[in-house]
Homo-oligomer: A and B are copies of this chain.
Amino acid sequence: MRKLNLSTAQQIISAAFEKAEALGLKPLTVAVMDDGGHLVALARQDGSSILRPQIACGKAFGALAVGTGTRFLNTAAEVRPHFVQALNGVAGGAIVPVPGGVLVRDGAGEVLGAVGITGDTSDNDEAAALAGIASVGLEADCG
């Protein structure tokens, strides 16, 4: 696959929601971006609060911005807060540096895009992203 296309993105979202239901998670919002950081698909479950689309996008974009999952940025924010603050400065505030932003790679390691999920704990958000990515046979990079 050259691009993370719409049907793949929609399948990732469906599988993430199935995982969330199996785990009994709160209502989620899922954003799937291509490798350029542009939305391919987004879905906000009933009851997921109003800023969740921006948070989900902020996780997906954060992963793509630095080329690894946002778990890396979460650690960086604790160890070198001035770096992550500055990163958000040059990003125009578009990055949410907590787990739940997961890079999507193909078998050769090429970045195809990213998934950002929010609504439950960051760890559970990430678990749903991993299930979504696994469902389409692609590789996940949590950071």
A51 to chain B, nearest CB (A): 4
Please pick, from B51, B74, B77, B92, the residue contacting A93 in the complex, using a CB distance under 8 A.
B92
| CB neighbors of B among A109-139 (8 A) | 110-111
Name the B residues within 8 Å of A9 (CB-CB): 43
- Count, chain A residues at interface, CB 8 A: 57
Please pick, from B35, B44, B50, the residue contacting A6 in the complex, using a CB distance under 8 A.
B44
A57 (CB) vs chain B CBs: closest residue? B90
Please pick, from B36, B64, B80, B90, the residue contacting A54 in the complex, using a CB distance under 8 A.
B90
Chain A interface residues (CB < 8 Å from chain B): 2-3, 5-6, 9-10, 34-51, 53-55, 57-58, 64-67, 74, 77-78, 80-98, 110-111
